[in-house]
Amino acid sequence: MTTLKGKRIYLRALEPEDLSFLYKIENDETLWELSHTQAPYSQYILKQYLENAHQDIFEAKQLRLVISDYEHNAMGLIDLFDFDFKNRRAGVGILVYEPADRQQGYGSEALQLLIDYSFSHLNLHQLYCNIAEDNPSSIKLFETLGFEKVGVKKDWIYNNNSYKNECLFQLIHN
């Protein structure tokens, strides 16, 4: 799919070889708040997930792609989730794993590729994302690519004995 290729990165399907990368990400407790994870994942469970990753978005209601550089190094993940064909919308999540790779434009390029794919190939009308209010990097990323803040969910995330707000952003394709 040439539509999923950018200047410095491309988006690709999950492969069995991604097991260790997926295991590292899913079991990194510093990321659990982003993914709403409550407990570690075993390699066995993740291997089963990879074996079922062949399901298309219409069947699975989600699409998880690997953000890869042109040397074929996995850099992160980008997802469409809660795919709703009837209402032509889906949620978006993105993670560039290594801190050294963040703020380098990889996330922006990956998100733009996914936006273009969602509107041109999946015929979606809108994308949305949920971002914690205290995550200015993600807010800036999504706003830069045209997402608009449409609401705030008060005390939505409970973590470390306190609540924080989560913002809802939408990008509507005309």
pLDDT tens for 77-91 read: 999 999 999 999 999
**What confidence score (pLDDT) does residue 1 get?**
42
Distance CA 120, CA 135 (A): 29
**What confidence score (pLDDT) does residue 121 get?**
94
154 C-beta neighbours (distance < 10 Å), count = 10
**What confidence score (pLDDT) does residue 34 get?**
66
Domains recognised in the chain with CATH numbers: 2-172 (3.40.630.30)
Distance CA 64, CA 66 (A): 7
In the block, residue with structure tokens 């995550």: 135
Q: Per the structure block, which two tokens stand in for 100?
A: 């050294």
Contact between 101 and 129 (Cβ < 8 Å): no
In the block, residue with structure tokens 């064909």: 85
**What confidence score (pLDDT) does residue 36 get?**
64
In the chain the first and final C-alpha atoms are separated, in Å, by: 24
What tens digit of pLDDT does each residue of 26-35 get?
A: 887 777 666 6
**What confidence score (pLDDT) does residue 33 get?**
66
**What confidence score (pLDDT) does residue 51 get?**
78
pLDDT below 70 — which residues of the chain? 1-3, 32-37, 54
**CB contact burial 29-68 (16+ within 10 A = b; e otherwise):** eeeeebeeeeeeeeeeebeeebeebeeebeeeebbbbbbb
Contact between 9 and 70 (Cβ < 8 Å): yes
